[in-house]
Structure 1
Amino acid sequence: MNRCFAAPLLISLSAVLVGCTVVPGLDLGMDQSRHGAPTEVGGFDLIHVTPAVLVELASAEIPVHGTENLRPATDLRAPDSDSVVEQYLVGPGDVLSIIVWDHPELTNPTGEFRDPESSGRLVGADGKIFYPYVGELEVAGRSVSDIRRLISSRLARVVREPQVDVRIAAYRSQKVRVTGDVAAPTVLPVTDRPPTVLEAITAAGGLTSEASRRLAILTRGGYEYRLTLPGGSRPPYVSDADLVLRDGDVLYVPNSDEQSVFLMGAINRQASIPMPRGTMSLAEALSTVEGLDPGAADSSRVFVVRAQAARGTPKMQVRPSIYLIDMSDISALIMSERFLLWPRDVVYVDRTGLATYNAVVSQVLPTVSTLFQLDRLLDDN
């Protein structure tokens, strides 16, 4: 009676276990019918990696994830983009140092031992300064040379052939902001020599260890622009590090997490790996996760799943591609060092048939053994 009860129970539970997903980790299947099918019905391209494929991929511009809606930096260098460095124009908050030669009472009326900034002429919120024998002057929006000529012409009524020199003692009216993954986010003054992108990042203490070495985002005039940093450049080593910033700019350095790749399957450690430089080789990524699992990996079936196209490709032409690398061949190991991953790529290492069988047995066997023990106990009773 008891045996009659236990046997059906054993059969039922074993069937349930076999029917469930008992293989540890991710176990993927590939519908070969979709290989080469139209994109609209879930089609993809399966590409066996060869030296010719590597040459073709090397000519493609690696995309930067999350920047599809950003304007290119080339727009900032266009002739009509107002990016040309012009003369500094004085604004409210600036401090002017005005010197009238041979007339110390006009140059330093408050004493000669004060520093130029504290003894200078502060440009008020209305854009004006006051100067003896001249009165109020509208200086905002004027260059230093324009202000010098204006003061000279006004002083000529009381001073014979006045020799006037005007300098900016403190730059306070124009600023740029540096934020994001920099060591010390800061606000920088714009002087008569505006800072470049690289100088601004350096002034902010440089990049953090998690910062993107390839990308920075510049906000100017209500638009966002994609800038390339020198640390992530590949041939021909184009960089926007020398781009000159101007008043109101906000420079943001993003975290490299957005440019990650994902490693799954029969590897020693499943992981998401940030790519600060915007790319890394397949060999480097696999070594980061301690390589393939020697007891479970099918080294002839290493897949790289890519669901985006190179930069500049229209979205309508984006088609999933699956690259297959046979790393059981020594020549493929060399190719893996030259196969560059793109942001959001998924690397999947397939399992051997024996590894799948062993994984199933290792999970089912303890349960089956327990059921047999239960059956014996019931039978003894």
Structure 2
Amino acid sequence: MARFALLFFLVLLAGCRPHDQRFFCREGASEFVMDSYLIRQGKMSILQMEGECVEELPCSALEEYEDGITEDDILNIAIYHPTRKDLIESIHMINQVIGFRVTEGCIHIPDIYPVKVEGLSINEARIAIQNAFRQNIEDVDVFLSYRDRLKKKVDIAGLTKVPYLPVDGKIRLYEVLAKAGIPTNANFFRSYVERDCQLLPVDMHKLMVEGDMCQNIVMRGGDKVYIADPGDSRVMIMGEVFRPTAIPLSYGYISLREAIVMAGGIPFTGDKRYI
């Protein structure tokens, strides 16, 4: 009987706990300040706080490389000659309709023999085509560029207007994102770049918003870029606020003050000691 009375007394005490003493883990202001400094450092720091292993971006990712023409590449050829307007117009018409595709390692141009271009850089291929023209026509200048690349390209998914872009050893992530036509409210925190089935430690928010060119990597054929939706990461504001809501975190974080303002503020019935 005494044991039962003691148990009843303990339950009664537990039921009489003050309303403010909740079973939540409470952190002091100092812990939040330290975490805020880490969060402000960007995506990689946030991922480390979440327990993910984040590697350093290799220096080679920022270096341009010499890219070679491959099979099935489609090239744009433009020529200049002081008198042969007919030749200029014929080449221009082919460019407008289909371009010049590399087949069996060669480029086929009317009135000259096939020119071997596979494995050459754009400038080397330009010189080879120009020399082939000049064997029959003097004073011809050739200009060459990529029109499309079926193998060496960057695939872009998510919030983008362009499904892929060709690479040339010089195009960088900033240029790819600019040409992709991504919306201004894209979620850069959840966006990523994949290379060889691994995610690269690139912070697109730092690149596009803060202008950190250390994130501006050189793109390679086979890279995949995903642009996330603003709602892919959100924080829930609930309880004693005027408008309980879900706030998108496009940058991966938001200040407590901003979050409360977006929820309409705290009414007089809310207890600011417990947030």
User: Is the TM-score greater than 0.5?
Assistant: yes
Unaligned runs of 5+ in 1: 1-26, 32-43, 303-381
**Greater Cα offset, 87-96 or 269-278:** 87-96
User: Which residue of structure 2 aligns with residue 291 of structure 1?
Assistant: 265
CA distance in 2 between partners of 1:151 and 1:285 (Å): 61
Aligned to 2:203: 228
| 2:123–2:144 Cα contact (<8 Å) kept | no
Report the identity percentage.
18
Q: How does 1:315-330 map to 2 (within 5 A)?
A: none
Amino acid at match of 2:92: P
Alignment of 1:326-341 (within 5 A): none
Aligned partner of 1:251 in structure 2 is: 225
Counterpart AA for 1:85:
E
Pair 230,299 (structure 1): closer, same or farther in 2 beyond 3 Å = closer
CA contact (8 A) 1:117 1:169 kept: no
One-letter amino acid of the counterpart of residue 29, structure 1: R
**Counterpart of 2:124 in 1: which secondary structure?**
helix
Structure 2 vs 1, CA of residues 135 and 57 (structure 1 numbering), >3 Å: closer, same or farther? same
- Give the 3 Å change call, closer, same or farther, for CA 150–269 of structure 1 in structure 2: closer
Alignment partner for residue 267 of structure 1, among 241, 251, 259?
A: 241
Select 1:202's aligned residue among 153, 178, 181.
178
Tell me: CA distance 1:263–1:153, structure 2 relative to 1, closer, same or farther (3 Å).
closer
Distance across 1 between alignment mates of 2:207 and 2:109:
52
Which amino acid letter does the alignment assign opposite residue 64 of structure 2? V
Shift, 1:191, TM fit: 5.0
Q: 1:30 Cα shift? A: 1.0
Structure 1 residues 289-333: Cα deviation after superposition (integer angstroms, max 9, x where no partner) = 2222423x222222xxxxxxxxxxxxxxxxxxxxxxxxxxxxxxx
- TM-fit CA distance, 1:185: 4.0
Q: Which residue of 2 aligns with 1:118?
A: 94
Q: 2:69 is matched with which residue: 84, 90, 94?
A: 90
- Quote how far apart the aligned CAs of 1:142 are: 0.8
Residue 219, structure 1, aligned to residue 194, structure 2: yes
Instruction: Output aligned runs, 1:5-20, within 5 Å.
Output: none
Within 5 Å, which residues of 2 pair with 1:20-39? Answer: 29-30=22-23
Q: Cα–Cα, structure 1 residues 143 and 231, in superposed 2: closer, same or farther, change >3 Å?
A: closer
Cα deviations across residues 7-50 of structure 1 (Å, max 9, x unaligned)? xxxxxxxxxxxxxxxxxxxx99317xxxxxxxxxxxx6x43215
Calculate the aligned-residue CA RMSD, in Å: 4.3
> Once the 2 structures are TM-superposed, how far is the Cα of residue 90 of structure 1 from its aligned partner?
2.2
Residues 100 and 165 in structure 1, CA contact (< 8 A), matched pair in contact too: yes
2-side partners of 1:140 and 1:218: how far apart? 28
Partner of 2:28: 48
Name 1:74's counterpart in structure 2.
57
The alpha-carbon distance between structure 1 residues 229 and 180, as it changes in their structure 2 partners (threshold 3 A), is same
2:133–2:140: 8 Å Cα contact kept in structure 1? no
Distance between the aligned counterparts of 2:21 and 2:238, measured in 1? 10
Residue aligning to 2:274: 301
Match of 2:253 among 279, 287, 301: 279
Report if aligned partners of 2:75, 2:101 keep a CA contact under 8 Å in 1: yes
Partner in structure 2 of residue 167 of structure 1 = 143
Q: Matched residues in 1 for 2:180 and 2:38: separation?
A: 33
Q: Quick one: distance in 1 between partners of 2:140 and 2:252?
A: 54
Paired with 1:68 and 1:260, the residues of 2 have a C-alpha distance of: 19
Distance verdict in 2 for CA 1:231–1:225, change over 3 Å = closer
Aligned length: 246
Q: Distance in 1 between matches of 2:164 and 2:246?
A: 34
Instruction: From the superposition, tell whether residues 151 and 213 of structure 1 become closer, same or farther in structure 2 (CA, over 3 Å).
Output: closer
Distance 1:121 1:289 in 2: 55
Q: Partner letter of residue 252 of structure 1?
A: Y
Whether the aligned pair in 2 keeps the contact of 1:70 and 1:224 (CA below 8 Å) is: no
Q: CA deviation at 1:102?
A: 8.9
Structure 2 unaligned runs (5+)?
1-19, 40-44
Mark the structure with the bigger radius of gyration. Answer: 1
Q: Give the 3-state SS of the residue equivalent to 2:238 in structure 1.
A: strand
Q: Which has the higher contact order (CA 8 A, sep 6+)?
A: 1
Native 8 Å contact 1:64 1:259 kept in 2: no
